[in-house]
Structure 1
Amino acid sequence: MGRDPRIDEAADTIVASWQEVCRFPTVAGRLDAIAAAADWIEERLAPLMDRVVRYEIPDYGPVVVGFRAGASDASLLLYNHYDVQPEGDPSRWSSPPYAAEIRDGAMYARGACDDKADVAGRLASLRLWIDEHDGRTPFGVIYLADPCEEIGSPGLGEVLAAHAAELRADACLWESYLREEDGRPAVGFGCRGSLEIELSLDILASAQHPSYSSILRSAPLELMAAISSMRTEDGRIAVAGVRDDALVPDERARRRTADITLPGPSIARDGVSPYLPGTDSQLSTRFVFEPSMSLSGFDLDDGVRQSIPASATARVRFGLVPGMRPERVVAAVRTHLAERHPDVAVSVIRALAPAYSPVQSAFGEAVVRAAGRAFGAEAVVYDVMTGAGPGALFLEHLGAPIISPTGTLRPAGNMHGYDEHGYVEDFLDHVQFTLDVFRELERSGFADTARGGA
């Protein structure tokens, strides 16, 4: 383990760049902020790349892409996104969510880790790598910044399909994810998909006085029962057919999950276990391979307090593992609810298919080696990256295997929550890690990958 001295020498500048991009409030759809951030990215890509282009997604802004050719025909695609989750109530942040304030060694901002540490950090790594080759890099690099990943990347598939010939690469380094609880690096292959649906139940013409509660149906209570019917007491999905096509781990894959550290101390309340029932081994395997279900919103028709609401609406999110198809999950949910709660209406909000990339590959081995070198510990391998993203679009249109590595985020970093933050030293290690990925691929090449097609 050792950090390139150039990173330490330029640390203030590298960190300031991270802060700069975090000051853009780039929630998907906030087009002024998206446009300003796209300009920022393009300005910093321009001196590093042969050309920089924008592919516009109507209503969401540009996919910003930089292309740099190398001495060989091989190329690495860097996937990043520059949109962020909504900041929520600013009063619940200990400093303004886009102030990018550094205190106690950490930088606090919405998007600090997800995903602006990649946006800024990979630019720094790329500059260092180019400099050590005097501008003549051994392979090509494509840097892609997505403006709307947090809402499912609408329109990105059309961009990839239309420009597949120039975007095609031998491998894709996906946006980064968590370190382990104990600080070890992690390397995730492929990514989960996601399905978010809305369940709605309208029963009464208007809210009614609570004195009728002994004779009137309750939309919120019935909707809660409908949601509960889709989940077992130990947290598994109880909808028939949902799990039929899910990837089943073999014995080697199960053994790899034994290295995973469950994120306990950093997320649990004192005296309360945060876990579903199961041993650590069972939970680690479920974390990687088990389809998941969570509630992401519940709204009442509560315009009149102390009343029986006329309706209720909920958002339910399913995490999909490779093999599962969103449309089959929707069909299974509709059948399940029609048989048990026929008045509940189901609509799809957004869907992303999962993506599978094999663990055994030259690309994977190079990333694992780079993680060990940069972070000073052997990487924990996730056969399926536990976060969701549009990876399936890249496999479908570009054919590039996907790996999501450790970056700046730790389990306690509040990704998607209030006071999202990343430690400055972790960010600088992140810059070193990406530089080491370039160096490892320079040594080992992309031997067992071949550029795919749509």
Structure 2
Amino acid sequence: MTSMNAEIPQTFSSGSGTINVDALKSSIDASFDETMTRLKALVAIPGIAWPSFDPAELERSAEAVAALVRESGFQDVQILRCDKADGNPGGPAIVARRVAAPGKATILLYAHHDVQPPGDVTLWDSEPFVAEERDGRLYGRGAADDKAGIMAHLASYAAVTQVLGDDFGLGVTLFFEGEEEAGSPTFRTFLETHRELLEANVIVVADSSNWKVGVPALTTSLRGLVDGTFEVRVLDHAVHSGMFGGPVLDAPTLLSRLIATLHDDEGNVAIEGLVAKDDVVEDVDEEQYRADASVLDGVRLAGNGSIASRLWTKPALSIIGIDAPAVDVASNTLLPAARAKFSLRLAPGQDPDAAMDAVGRHLEANAPFGAKVTFVPGERGNAFSTDTTSAAARIAMWALGEAWGVPAVEMGIGGSIPFIADLTETYPDVQILVTGVEDPDSRAHSANESLHIGDFRNAVLAEALMLARLNTEGL
């Protein structure tokens, strides 16, 4: 993590002209209530790209976003999709274009309109798909991840075009994906199919977080990701636990023993062949981390090295699901099989294919009591790092600091956005900026997901400033 300081006046000048920061801020403030109203309407649509959910709601989400894009002044607005490997249609993406004036760059603004399932609704303090304001935050599924990203793009574009008028010649392409939360299964195919349509000089991915409430950040590194499932089988069929229990252990017990081999006694990932780094210059405050992660008192943190490295540059493995009968419906039987799903975050520099192979070797080598272990690889994605010396990155850091009124932070993120690797491979010369509207308490993917409204307003201003400065200075 590093910080960058800048003293910026309320207007800035370049060889191409002067931009009035206050005018952009006034434009955003004047329409902010409408921006929030539109965001709330999007939150009300449960557009989930998972096969087990109603696809009609995802279509409704795409249509609603396309309508907002048209209202923002884009004429060329399309809802596009590609087929998955199994032949089923992928999620609907909205693509809109404003062609650049001669000599001007093109910027692509990315976000996604699909959302995570709500999970156990009893854990929510309000209805997941009814946006509700409480204590300066907006609650609801997708309020932060990532429908606020869509509205930040649209609101910033509206402000810049209103203030600059005919002087705004920057090319702008909007790309709002419809299957990101389902792993972006058709993303690479989509890029290859629409390569020319999506070509740009700069890509802004509004799907990350800020350092904390009141402190903005540019995400400069992301871990990679592999996931999959593994099954432990010990019997051909279930048998009576009293009649047969003792000489053979049940599948959930053996699955638990296998899961326990994935970490050492200190909590470090114990899979041989994985890259791990501990070169983060500045650390994350442990007390703040424990508070942000809601760690219970007395729980010891896992792993060795700095907390920042454990979050950003070392592998992290989690068991995110187990198939076994629920306690309320359990019977007195020895279960023949049990299955778990893992999610493994990868350090920058780790090859995902090599990591997946390492997981498979580890599971096979540690099969408990000779049980049959079946490994099924899942998704995989590369890590990402930003060239922080690029013109676009420097402008983004300036814009973030100006909008929040405090220096912006360059930070890593422990999470993964696998499709960014597809962007870098498809467009090797593009400058990619990862921004976001979330903060450590946004609880994306969890119950009570929320958006800090004040920081959201700042995010809109920051992007407007970035667009304005790219328009006047270029790259």
User: Quick one: distance in 2 between partners of 1:276 and 1:150?
Assistant: 27
- CA-based RMSD of the aligned residues comes to 2.4
Which stretch of structure 1 is more off in the superposition, 187-196 or 283-292? Answer: 187-196
CA drift at 1:418: 0.6
Aligned residues: 437
Q: Does 1:217 align with 2:249?
A: yes
| Counterpart residue number, 1:441 | 470
Aligned-partner residue type, residue 95 of structure 2 = V
Q: Does 1:66 align with 2:96?
A: yes
- 5 Å-filtered alignment, 1:105-124, equals 105-124=136-155
Q: Does 1:404 align with 2:434?
A: yes
- 5 Å-filtered alignment, 1:3-402, equals 4-29=25-50, 30-46=54-70, 47-58=72-83, 59-71=89-101, 72-181=103-212, 183-189=214-220, 191-211=222-242, 212-243=244-275, 248=277, 254-257=280-283, 262-269=288-295, 271-273=297-299, 275-278=301-304, 282-301=306-325, 304-341=330-367, 343-382=372-411, 386-399=415-428, 400-402=430-432
| Counterpart residue number, 1:449 | none
User: Quick one: distance in 2 between partners of 1:345 and 1:236?
Assistant: 24
2:319·2:343 contact (CA, 8 Å) conserved in 1?
yes
- 5 Å-filtered alignment, 1:409-428, equals 409-428=438-457
- Per-residue CA deviation, residues 358-407 of structure 1 (Å, 9 max, x unaligned), is 22211111111111111122122125674433101111112323221242
Aligned-partner residue type, residue 68 of structure 1 = R
User: Quick one: distance in 1 between partners of 2:287 and 2:220?
Assistant: 17
**Structure 2 stretches of 5 or more lacking a match?**
1-9, 11-21, 84-88
**Identical columns (%):** 24
Residue aligned with 2:172, SS? strand
1:191·1:389 contact (CA, 8 Å) conserved in 2?
no
Q: Name the structure where strand makes up a greater proportion of residues.
A: 2
User: Quick one: distance in 2 between partners of 1:410 and 1:192?
Assistant: 18
Aligned-partner residue type, residue 34 of structure 1 = L
- Per-residue CA deviation, residues 274-294 of structure 1 (Å, 9 max, x unaligned), is 632556xx1112212112111
User: Quick one: distance in 1 between partners of 2:422 and 2:459?
Assistant: 26
2:317·2:343 contact (CA, 8 Å) conserved in 1?
yes
**Taking structure 2 as the reference length, what is the TM-score of the superposition?**
0.85
User: Quick one: distance in 2 between partners of 1:77 and 1:259?
Assistant: 35
2:229·2:375 contact (CA, 8 Å) conserved in 1?
yes
- Per-residue CA deviation, residues 213-261 of structure 1 (Å, 9 max, x unaligned), is 3211221121122122122233322111122xx6x576xxx22556999
User: Quick one: distance in 1 between partners of 2:80 and 2:455?
Assistant: 32
2:268·2:304 contact (CA, 8 Å) conserved in 1?
no
User: Quick one: distance in 1 between partners of 2:466 and 2:300?
Assistant: 35
CA drift at 1:268: 2.4
Residue aligned with 1:133, SS? helix
User: Quick one: distance in 2 between partners of 1:113 and 1:27?
Assistant: 15
2:269·2:315 contact (CA, 8 Å) conserved in 1?
yes
Residue aligned with 1:411, SS? coil
Residue aligned with 1:412, SS? coil
Residue aligned with 1:60, SS? coil
| Counterpart residue number, 2:5 | none
Aligned-partner residue type, residue 63 of structure 2 = D
- Per-residue CA deviation, residues 95-151 of structure 1 (Å, 9 max, x unaligned), is 111111222322111011010100112111111111112144232111101111112
**Taking structure 1 as the reference length, what is the TM-score of the superposition?**
0.89
User: Quick one: distance in 2 between partners of 1:419 and 1:258?
Assistant: 25
Residue aligned with 2:92, SS? strand
**Alpha-carbon distance change, 347 to 317 in structure 1, aligned in 2, over 3 angstroms:** same
User: Quick one: distance in 2 between partners of 1:141 and 1:267?
Assistant: 37
CA drift at 1:297: 0.5
CA drift at 1:440: 3.2
CA drift at 1:33: 1.2
CA drift at 1:419: 1.0
Residue aligned with 1:180, SS? coil
Which stretch of structure 1 is more off in the superposition, 185-194 or 285-294? Answer: 185-194
CA drift at 1:54: 2.6
CA drift at 1:57: 2.9
